[in-house]
Amino acid sequence: MSEGSWHLRPARPDDHDFLFKLNATTMREHVERVWGWNDADQAAFFKNRFAPDRWQIIQADGEDVGVLIVEETSEEIYLAEVQIVPEWQGRGVGSSIVRSLMNDAAAAGKPLTLRVLHVNERARALYERLGFRPFKEIETHTYLRWEPPNRTTSR
């Protein structure tokens, strides 16, 4: 499989353990820095938001390597979550997924938005390299937007 090559499959209820471990592996450092990490609280939080009918599993080389959660409204496409297992980070999978979503947003004539924790500098740098720009700041996160070419914006 070439660099950045991937495909999606629908998440299933039995993906819970893989996805919880993925979340803990990819987000623990950032969550600890912002709110602190408590295993029981994180397990309960994850269980409450786990929605396999709305989540997709990222696969590469025949293995599950991440999760993608996208929400589309009449106004925007929102990249709610993309997480890649550490062994697959830096191989172009995440960038390729975001570029694919940018193509979808351009075809739909909608902006692609997301949010990133302030402490997650690596993710923010990736999004800014891909052309996302900040449009809103809250205490814990920066919201970023990518506008399709030739789209007029109303901000």
Domain ranges within the chain, ordered by starting residue = 7-146
Element (H, E) at 107: helix 93-108
CATH 3.30.470.20 fits 7-146, yes or no: no
* Tokens at 22, concatenated: 């993925």
Q: What is the DSSP letter of 75?
A: S
- Chain segment 95-153, per-residue pLDDT in tens: 999 999 999 999 999 999 999 999 999 999 999 999 999 999 999 999 999 999 875 55
Handedness of CA 39, 54, 10, 100 (dihedral sign): negative
What is the pLDDT, as a whole number, of residue 153? Answer: 53
Stretch 4-16: mean pLDDT:
93
- Chain segment 27-59, per-residue pLDDT in tens: 877 777 777 778 888 889 899 999 999 999 999
Smallest CA-to-CA distance from 84 within 108, 104, 107, 64 is with 64
pTM listed for this prediction: 0.89
Residue 40 exposed, middle or buried by CB count within 10 Å (0-12, 13-18, 19+): exposed
What is the pLDDT, as a whole number, of residue 101? Answer: 97
| C-beta separation of 146 from 105 below 8 A | yes
